[in-house]
Amino acid sequence: MEIVVLVLVLVIAVLISNIIASKLTQVPLAFIEIAIGLLVAFVVPYYRHYTMNPDLFMLVVLAPLMFYDGLNTNMRALRRSFSTTLSLAVGLALVTISIVGVVTHLTLTELALPLSFALAAIITPTDAVAVSSVTANIEMPEEAMQTLKNESLFNDASGIVIFDLALQAFTTGKFSFTFGFFDFSYVFLGGLLLGMILGSLLVSLRTFLISHRMDNSSVIVTLGILMPFFVYFIAELAHVSGILAVVAAGLVHGVQEGRLRLTSTKIQVVSNTTWEVLSDNLNGFVFVLLGVSLPTVIADISYRNNSFLLFLMGLSILLYALMTILRYLWLRMGFATIRVRPEYKNTNCWIIALSGIHGTITLALAFSLPLTLHGTVFPYRNDLLFVASIVIILSMLVPSLILPALLPRQKEPFLWEDANSARRKMINYAIQKITKLNEDPLETQAVISTLHSQNKPEKIESRRILRQLFAQTRDVENDVLDEMVANEDITEKERRLYQRTMLTRDAHSDNSVLKSIWRQIAYRFIYFFKRLTHSRKIKIAQQQMKHNPKLMKKFKSKHDTIVEIENRATQEVFKYLKSPKVNKESRTDISIVQRYYRERHRRYQNNSNSNEIQEELFIKAFQFEYNYVQNQLTENKLTRELASALYEQISNDELIYMQNDEIYD
């Protein structure tokens, strides 16, 4: 039960952070998540003095994140800049760990040299996702951003391997450079090789399932989500880098994406959306947990010595500054090349140096420090965790303050006002074209109503006017019933039957949401109670109807009568709503009433012919929208960026309508 509460709190914390970030766009999301984490630590009892399980964190959080990063890596860009990526991810990482480890040991002499190197390995890896969060509102150079993403894919493994070697040296008191080199090579290269093999096998399995028509979303999407966990688990059993293995598997999966296009568009959309939501939430977990862990760590250090806490903060600032300078010098001296014009080289070097932001892997490694050593508390664990936390915060705070001065604000390709205006014109164009087709009026109105709903959700303007409209339409229905009885089209008994089944239900259609919910609950309870108390009578009646054709025919006759009355009544209601008798000022309320009767009509008049008409009208409507965008683009009335956005929206709408079977069933 406790683990369920912990996960629910994390999900809620990330949700609240995203809501706040949508309003405070100037504040990076990571900072908001850390602040929410701090609040959680003080409010939620389960998270007080929280200690994270490092193995669980690496498997559940880090493995899927790294797989997703590998999956979305541009392989062409990675091949083009592979030497630069290798230089930063391995060369710079090893140099940084060596220098930072020595400086840490000289500054904090009581910290053993292996632990100094362990700390250096913890704070060296960078996090491209954190970079994206911090630089969301500024225009990062494309080459610099791609370099940072590629670096973060592989320098994690460098940090993890050195971290493991340093811990092994500290716990055993022995270290061999030769053994360390070969161990590093085995773990690094072995992780890449195993990941590529497992990734290829899993892609082949997925292709096999697709080719044998076992490609529903519950199979393909679930298999995709399980991939990183399976690969990481196997890699750890083989004692190679699980992180590099999942990255390699993600890269293979991305490269062979062409083989997976056999899946339906619906499954691809579901898969991509699932991964985006999962990735965003897992990244949120990382920074929320960072905020959760800080109070416990600070309390432990302050309890021992307040001045030592200030010393550790100073050490954190020193190490962060040292790593930033090392990154700048490494690039400036040409150990890693960036394809930019010479006059921009210095600026790009500083941008990449400042963008060496730390996040997920740093926190994961910090929590990976053992809790005990030989039966006693692991020395300096909270101190190292505190330094790592401060370095993470500094690495996000400093570029948040400096990069906006070096780079322009991110420009939107088009204004949202222009996009909304173009979208309204596009939809109105499609509606005009659909209206001119002179197809079935009711089905045309249903399609038009759906197209209108693309603009914005309908909002009740006046409940008083809405109630009046429903009262007027019920009067129209009663007039239809009177006319049908007078013409002997129906009997008085059939009129009362229709009123019981239709008008009584409709009388509550304009109630508030709470009243509607309460009436639904009451109806369900009464229905359940009647079935419980009269179950035997119901069974007998059903059996009699099943074996009595006359009774079955009588029942069907009643249903057909209701359908016929409903059809005539609905047509008259729509005529009335279009007549001058109705106040046209409240268009939204009229639209709500129309939609209500249209949906009721479809429930009782549903047939294959009606569905085919609607499907054909929808296809034509989408084609009209495509034509509108193409014409506007040809006449230079739309920019290419805005046209692309409209094309994408039409495609999404088409996918939703065409693949939602419930629309036509």
Contact status, residue 291 vs residue 396, Cβ threshold 8 Å: no
The C-alpha atoms of residue 162 and residue 180 are separated, in whole angstroms, by 9
Contact status, residue 387 vs residue 125, Cβ threshold 8 Å: no
CA atoms within 13 A on the CB side of 120: 28
Contact status, residue 650 vs residue 625, Cβ threshold 8 Å: yes
User: Can you give the pLDDT at residue 608?
Assistant: 54
CA distances to 516, 520, 538 from 523, rounded to whole Å, are: 10, 5, 18
* Length of the chain (residues): 665
Average pLDDT over residues 48-75: 77
pTM across the whole model: 0.65
CATH of 52-406, one of 1.10.260.40, 1.20.1530.20, 1.10.10.10, 1.20.140.10: 1.20.1530.20
pLDDT at residue 481 tops 80:
yes
Q: Mind listing the pLDDT tens digit for each residue in 288-302?
A: 888 888 887 777 776
DSSP character string of 332-360: HTTSS---S-GGGHHHHHHHHHHT----H
Q: Mind listing the pLDDT tens digit for each residue in 159-213?
A: 887 888 888 888 777 766 677 778 778 888 898 899 999 988 888 887 787 777 7
**Percentage of the chain with pLDDT > 90?**
9
Average pLDDT over residues 9-33: 84
User: Can you give the pLDDT at residue 317?
Assistant: 95
The C-alpha atoms of residue 289 and residue 13 are separated, in whole angstroms, by 10
Average pLDDT over residues 586-603: 73
Instruction: Find all residues with CB under 8 Å of 423, minimum gap 6, and list them.
Output: 454, 455, 646, 649
Per-residue pLDDT band for 22 (boundaries 50, 70, 90) equals: confident
Q: Mind listing the pLDDT tens digit for each residue in 344-401?
A: 778 888 888 888 888 877 877 887 787 777 677 788 888 888 899 899 889 988 988 8
Of 259 and 148, which is predicted with more confidence? 148
Nearest to 20 by CA among 31, 10, 9: 31
- Three-state DSSP class for 373? strand
User: Can you give the pLDDT at residue 370?
Assistant: 79
Residue 438: left (phi > 0), alpha (psi -120 to 50), or beta?
left
User: Can you give the pLDDT at residue 333?
Assistant: 87
pLDDT at residue 556 tops 60:
no
User: Can you give the pLDDT at residue 186?
Assistant: 85
Outline which parts of the chain fall under CATH 1.20.1530.20.
52-406
Q: Provide the sign of the torsion angle of the four alpha carbons 566, 567, 568, 573, taken in this order.
A: positive
Find the angle CA(84)-CA(86)-CA(92) to the nearest 5 degrees.
90
User: In whole numbers, what is the pLDDT of the chain averaged over residues?
Assistant: 77
Q: Which residues of 331-347 are buried (b: 16+ CB within 10 A; e: fewer)?
A: beeeebebeeeeeeeee
Output DSSP code: residue 491. Answer: -
Q: Provide the sign of the torsion angle of the four alpha carbons 483, 489, 494, 499, taken in this order.
A: negative
Q: Provide the sign of the torsion angle of the four alpha carbons 36, 37, 41, 45, taken in this order.
A: positive
**Percentage of the chain with pLDDT > 70?**
78
Nearest to 512 by CA among 467, 451, 563, 555: 467
